Chain A
Amino acid sequence: MDFSETGILSFHGIYGIFALFLPGWLAYAVTCGVLAFIVINAMVMSTALYTWFERRMIGRFQARLGPNRWGPFGLLQPFADVIKLIVKEDTTPSTADKIVFAISPVILFAPTVLTIAIIPFGENTFLGRLNIGVLFLIGVTSVNTIAVLAAGWASRNKYAMLGSMRGVAMLCSYEVPMALAITGVVLIANSLSLYDVVQAQSVPFLIVQPLGFLVFMAAASAEMSRTPFDQIEAESELGAGYHTEYSGMKFAIFQLAEFMAPIVTSILAVVLFFGGTRGFDPIPGQLWFVIKVVLVLFGLLWIRATWPRLRIDQIMGFAWKGLFALAILNIFVIAIEVMLFQDGEGNITTRGMWTMAAVNWVITIAAIAIMVNVLGGKKLERPTPKPSPLANMYAEAD
């Protein structure tokens, strides 16, 4: 692991300040704490901002206004919500497993924040340059399965249990296509480090491998349980799913983790498929990054505001029959193309990338069209209505 070496807010800058009056190992620990504090708070604040953004945008999608009362354009609405949630009574069901009930929000929250540790936000703006960044992501995000299960189990509520059971089945299944979709990225980038992935994107991988992007986004939106895969919560069926019994601050932490998930997912999508910090000059890389993240967030919102949700067995079928096959196809195609276009050091020229992109777009559209129309189309056809003879039985009797 390397830490960035420049700037006052760099690790060594802060370490230097603390090392003046603290023993080295303590200064090291305190510096880590300070950085973690800054990053976690930044994430929480941006989540608050994002909830406002989401509510405003979904309001507009639904031809409503969204929160606009408290503060400029309703910007302070999330803070009002948090104050409300703090003041609310924190109830625990009397039959609940109280300890597990209390810690499961934290278990859900921690891995989401952990993923931030390895994201390259800019040329020199990142916490850790882990050489197995992609694996770290997949590994860490798989932990929240346990939180969902623990919350549902500890609540002793049938709705919560159903929600968490669905959730576990879904989260476990969708990890597979997500990992396979990321494999395509790793194949081209020739590295597991997120920093190298960004560096490799002379052409954004969204253009080079649209199929991988689609599979990744579908799997990721299932991982964070957003429409059309929000069976974990399924508010019209289960009330609120695994956090039915939660209230007060515990509920707020669940909501925080849940709203942080889209941000983390968009950040990942930007890093893996949108070229991360890359852009053209006068605008700095960090700004490019933020712009791209907001765009991806908007796309997620757009989908959330439009599509209904699938049934649980359809979701599982989609993961194993649809996404899994598409992801395998993607890996196969990308691997062959990498073999063809790779030079001796494992790099691919920009020209090679564009060629790959052209081929992959054709393959993507053909694959999806074949999958939807040939394999899935039969169930969707509507036969022409035929009037039933029963309507005229009284007329005949007369």
Chain B
Amino acid sequence: MLGQGTEASLLADIVFWVIAVSSIIAALAVVLLKDLFRAALFLIVSFLGVAGMFVLLRAEFLAVVQVLVYVGAISVLIIFAILMTRDVEEGSPANKFRLPMAIFSALFAAVAIYVAVSTNWNTLELAIASGAIAEETTAKITEVYSNTIPWIGRLLLRDFVLAFEVASVVLLAALIGALALIRER
């Protein structure tokens, strides 16, 4: 939708920058704000920004799942956990991990940026342009990309059904374990 035509792609660029900047600001706010509740709300904003990124990358399914799982469920859990802590508005006091963590995250960010910049991203467009992929494969790839959901479903419930079910069993075990832990004796 947004990729067609230069003018529309300009708009896509604008949307990208808006989402990117706002999610970075929100992510910074999560770390820097003292009020834990507001920090959690900013975490939601940053989640939504990531969902927007997924939309721009034409992965609508992932975007919606991001909203559904992270915004709808995980962030509520986080807020619940925050409500159980003391002094929500002051946040946690400064501790000795501050400096090491700052150094570690700076290093991590530097490495991530370096990797992102230096990698030769072999995107689909580039691959097709270079002629590395056969014609019929291209058509198939385009078909898959136009509607990914049946493919995801097929992969999850046919090809990798065992892994899928094992994951659900693990989740069930976690659920039962949590129940057993909080049960009053």
| A interface list, Cβ under 8 A from B | 1, 23-25, 28-29, 97, 99-100, 130-132, 135-136, 138-140, 142-143, 145-146, 149-150, 153, 168, 172, 175, 192
A139 touches B64 (CB 8 A): yes
B76 touches A143 (CB 8 A): no
A131–B65 alpha-carbon span in the complex (Å): 14
Question: Which residue from A1, A25, A145, A172 sits with its C-beta under 8 Å from B1?
Answer: A1
List of B residues within 8 angstroms of A97 by Cβ:
35, 37-38, 89
Q: Say yes or no: is B174 at the interface (Cβ < 8 Å to chain A).
A: no
List of A residues within 8 angstroms of B38 by Cβ:
97, 99-100
A172 touches B7 (CB 8 A): no
A212–B149 alpha-carbon span in the complex (Å): 23
A131 touches B60 (CB 8 A): yes
B11 touches A132 (CB 8 A): no
Which stretch from B20-28, B66-74, B110-118, B165-173 is at the chain A interface? B66-74
A142–B72 alpha-carbon span in the complex (Å): 5
The main secondary structure of chain A at its interface with chain B is: helix
The 10 closest A-B pairs by CB, nearest first: A142-B72, A24-B7, A139-B68, A25-B11, A139-B67, A25-B10, A135-B64, A139-B64, A25-B7, A1-B1
- Contacts A97-B37, A131-B147 known; list 20 others, CB within 8 Å: A1-B1, A24-B7, A25-B14, A28-B11, A29-B11, A97-B35, A130-B60, A131-B60, A132-B64, A135-B64, A135-B65, A138-B68, A139-B65, A139-B71, A143-B67, A145-B72, A146-B79, A149-B76, A153-B79, A172-B72
A149–B80 alpha-carbon span in the complex (Å): 9
Given contacts A24-B8, A132-B149, contact A143 B41 (CB under 8 A): no
A135 touches B61 (CB 8 A): yes
List of B residues within 8 angstroms of A192 by Cβ:
149
A29–B8 alpha-carbon span in the complex (Å): 9
Q: Show 19 residue pairs from A and B whose CB-CB distance is below 8 angstroms, ordered by the A residue.
A: A24-B8, A25-B14, A28-B11, A29-B14, A97-B35, A97-B38, A100-B41, A131-B147, A132-B64, A135-B68, A139-B68, A142-B72, A143-B67, A146-B71, A146-B79, A149-B79, A150-B37, A153-B79, A192-B149
Question: Which residue from A28, A142, A175 sits with its C-beta under 8 Å from B67?
Answer: A142
A150–B37 alpha-carbon span in the complex (Å): 9
A285, chain B: closest CB distance, angstroms: 25
